Structure 1
Amino acid sequence: MLNTDTIKITPELLALLSEIDEFKGAWRALGTLAPERLQALRHVATIESIGSSTRIEGSKLTDREIEQLLSRLDIKRFDSRDVQEVVSYAEVMETVFQAWEDIPITENHIKQLHRDLLRHSSKDERHRGAYKTVPNDVGAFDESGKMVGVVFETASPFDTPQRMAELVQWLNDMRSLKRLHPLLIVAIFVVVFLEIHPFQDGNGRLSRILTTLLLLQAGYAYVPYSSLESVIENSKEGYYLALRQTQTTIRSDEPDWQPWLLFFMRALQQQKRRLSMKVEREERALADLPELAVLILDYARQHGRVANRDMVREYGASPNTLKATFRSLVDKRLLVRHGGGRSTWYSLSIGS
């Protein structure tokens, strides 16, 4: 079983936990944001999360390409692996956002999430939703993609079922006993999950999905509105270093949890600070916008895109006034222009 008696609550770790919890309470009391504003924040964060989490694993798609891909509701075929991963990740994220209260943390539910995460990947058809059957140690690769050495040994296929059963049992016991701070429980679950590496592929992406699920279940309701995956992508070297430093000690008598706990809490701190800045920036921007500009942004959030004719039809706005308003919103980087002439349309700017 996991030995968590070696966790050291240092002054920095305590300060991080306090700051994150303070924001958790402040977010709960935030009644000023309208539903459409929250929807816009979640839309941007979701695109960033999908992009970052899949790029960490090697995808090449940009956030803009992902947004355009997911706006094509009629898409039926997913020809490239990058597209398969993006679409699956988006679907599983939506499942978590909509049903997090109804997803107990059991091995079967973890396997179901894994199956859904690889749903569109033809390469992974045989092992989706099932624990690994061959070793999947984490290796170092040269520029040609050839493995040149083992960086970290994961659990063997034989040990994986028992290790996962123990981890899930530990999580649910800790939640019931409430002897550890909820954020420490989430952090330890994630690092041990990645140390086990229970599935043949998709472990990194699934760990980040599970992180979001566990944080929501722990009451951190702001998580869907700011991308933790984006923070991790921007700190990839620190992410892998902290994982390795802790993972190599997990099965010892005195595990060193500190490297991972500090990285994880600093990432959560950065996530909440980004969200705080976005909310402040949006409130300032909206306070300075005329009513027509706010209506345009609201329409774009609700429909994914907006054109001059939409606003004429909906509100009877003057074409000349609309032209100037659209230009102003593009200049302020709140909208992005697409097409030209009578076919011009606009979408929300990523990050606005």
Structure 2
Amino acid sequence: MHRDLLKFTNYSYGGQFKTTPNEIDMVLANGEKVVLFKPLEPYETAPAIEAICSKYQEALDKELVDELILIPCFLLDFLCIHPFNDGNGRMSRLLTLLLLYRSGYLVGQYISIEKAIADTQEAYYDALQRADQGWHEGTNDPKPFIKYMLSIILSCYKEFEARVSIAYSSGTKSTSYDVVKVYVSERIGKFSKQEVLMGCPSLGSSSVESALKKLVEDGTLVRIGAGRKTMYARADSIMS
């Protein structure tokens, strides 16, 4: 996965564990970099990754702990090891999707978990910082990170539920025009076709495009711009 993640970059170490020490840090609004955690050394990385993978599978097999608790624990260990020179955060997001999919939680196919994490970046780093204290000694408390990840997963399911309910709000399956019309009725300001696609996961690109065209024609929406920069807005919001 790491190899494929860096395939189209100039980095030559895709798929290889780190060869130099690294650190977990965050950049403050003023540009200042703050070091949050010092991960394992390069020579410790390979056996540590092997250990957390085998322990995770062992815990799954014993079925003593719910998978939604185990997944954040695995991710926390992965981030504390920080096994690659670059791309550790992105890899953790890919692993989040993979482990959730393997456990039957497929919300990431419809709602961006990575965006949900990016939108709550300060809470993410705060939870990570509180959960990794004492990790090297085995005395850390993973609960802050577990609670954070559970809140992210729950928020994604709530967003997905809200989007899907648009398509079935009348008790019967609506047309693409109906679905898009309900969605845009709640929008404030300008929005793009891509945003409508994300907001109406049951519809394809051509269906959304057709619905937007009809909504412009019947005066519900106003088209702004052209080509790739095309945006839409509710006609009543512009008039008011």
The TM-score with structure 1 as length reference comes to: 0.51
C-alpha distance 234-150 of structure 1, shift in aligned 2 (>3 A): closer
C-alpha distance 172-269 of structure 1, shift in aligned 2 (>3 A): same
Shift of 1:252: 2.6
Equivalent residues of 2:26, 2:125 under 8 A apart = no
Asked whether 1:260 is paired with 2:145, we answer yes
In the alignment, which of 154, 157, 160 is matched to residue 269 of structure 1?
154
1:248-279 Cα deviation digits (max 9, x unpaired): 22233432111111111111111111111111
Match of 2:5 in 1: 117
Asked whether 1:229 is paired with 2:114, we answer yes
Match of 1:287 in 2: 174
C-alpha distance 247-338 of structure 1, shift in aligned 2 (>3 A): same
CA distance in 1, matches of 2:29, 2:147: 31
Structure with more of its chain in helix, by fraction:
1
Match of 1:327 in 2: 216
Shift of 1:223: 2.9
1:171-193 Cα deviation digits (max 9, x unpaired): 11111111110111111111110
Structure 1 vs Structure 2 CA RMSD: 3.7
In the alignment, which of 178, 183, 191 is matched to residue 68 of structure 2?
183
Asked whether 1:134 is paired with 2:20, we answer yes
Shift of 1:346: 7.4
C-alpha distance 290-218 of structure 1, shift in aligned 2 (>3 A): closer
Gaps in structure 2 of 5+ consecutive residues? 182-196, 234-240
CA distance in 1, matches of 2:219, 2:229: 11
CA distance in 2, matches of 1:186, 1:142: 28
Equivalent residues of 2:176, 2:208 under 8 A apart = no
For the residue of structure 2 that corresponds to 1:151, the secondary structure is: strand
Higher relative contact order (CA 8 A, sep 6+): 1
C-alpha distance 301-131 of structure 1, shift in aligned 2 (>3 A): same
Equivalent residues of 2:67, 2:103 under 8 A apart = yes
Amino acid at match of 2:5: L
C-alpha distance 146-235 of structure 1, shift in aligned 2 (>3 A): closer
Asked whether 1:301 is paired with 2:204, we answer yes
For the residue of structure 2 that corresponds to 1:279, the secondary structure is: helix
Count of residue correspondences: 211
The share of aligned pairs that are identical, in percent, is 25
Amino acid at match of 1:327: V
Shift of 1:225: 1.2
Shift of 1:222: 3.1
Match of 1:39 in 2: none
For the residue of structure 1 that corresponds to 2:35, the secondary structure is: strand
Gaps in structure 1 of 5+ consecutive residues? 1-112, 312-321
C-alpha distance 120-245 of structure 1, shift in aligned 2 (>3 A): same
1:68-94 Cα deviation digits (max 9, x unpaired): xxxxxxxxxxxxxxxxxxxxxxxxxxx
CA distance in 2, matches of 1:345, 1:158: 49
Equivalent residues of 2:131, 2:145 under 8 A apart = yes
Equivalent residues of 1:114, 1:128 under 8 A apart = yes
Equivalent residues of 2:22, 2:82 under 8 A apart = yes
